[in-house]
Amino acid sequence: MTSEETLEQFNLRKTKIRIAVLDSLSQSAVAQSYSTMQNALHEFDRITLYRTLLTLTEYGLIHKAYEENGESFYARCFGCTGQLHNHEHLHLKCSSCGGVECVEISDQLKSSLAQLPFQEINISAKGACKACASA
Ligand SMILES: [Zn+2]
Ligand SMILES: [Zn+2]
Ligand SMILES: [Zn+2]
């Protein structure tokens, strides 16, 4: 599905910046930091970018994958809705390239997590991302 089709499906206006943000997150294997996106999308102003990230998060299209030193990393969501961000994966911060990767967890771990009364879950780990591990 293209970014335009995705926005249509969620009844969101197809603004240039929304398409640009979704395109860049869909193409990337790792989550992107706010400043990386800001550099890549410098034709848009910061406030517009910030608001776009909020809106797309609200609608379940992207999620904040990681936060470090005030820097947020965002990744594309698949199968989330505005009401429910349904992620059962962990976020691996790569110590080599600095990227953040969404990593699926085992069913075993999922079912033990399901016993816990959490409202929101964010598991993070440090190591090497797929690209760096295979390099
Ligand atoms: Zn999500
Ligand atoms: Zn890496
Ligand atoms: Zn993620």
User: What is the pTM for the complete model shown?
Assistant: 0.85
Which ligand is the nearest neighbour of the Cα of 94? 2
**Does 120 score more than 80 pLDDT?**
no
Compute, in angstroms, the gap from residue 121 CA to the centroid of ligand 2.
23
- Beta strand 62-68 with 71-76 is antiparallel
- When the pLDDT of each residue in the chain is averaged and rounded to a whole number, the result is 90
Compute, in angstroms, the gap from residue 59 CA to the centroid of ligand 1.
9
> What are the tens digits of pLDDT across the range 13-61?
999 999 999 999 998 888 999 999 999 999 999 999 999 999 999 999 9
Compute, in angstroms, the gap from residue 95 CA to the centroid of ligand 2.
7
pLDDT at 37: 94
Averaged pLDDT, 81-110: 87
Query: d(Cα 111, Cα 130) in Å, to the nearest integer?
Result: 25
Domain limits of the chain?
3-78+86-133
Compute, in angstroms, the gap from residue 93 CA to the centroid of ligand 2.
8
Asked if 105 contacts 88 with a C-beta cutoff of 8 angstroms, the reply is: yes
Nearest to 76, CA basis, from 28, 34, 108: 28
The encoded tokens of residue 27 equal: 């193409």
Instruction: For residue 112, list its beta bridge partners.
Output: none
Domain 3-78+86-133 CATH (choose: 3.40.50.720, 1.10.10.10, 3.40.228.10, 3.10.105.10): 1.10.10.10
Compute, in angstroms, the gap from residue 80 CA to the centroid of ligand 3.
11
Compute, in angstroms, the gap from residue 12 CA to the centroid of ligand 3.
22
Helix locations, the chain, DSSP H: 3-9, 16-27, 34-40, 46-58, 107-113, 130-133
Those residues whose C-beta lies under 8 Å from the C-beta of residue 113, and which sit 6 or more positions away, are 88, 121
Compute, in angstroms, the gap from residue 76 CA to the centroid of ligand 3.
7
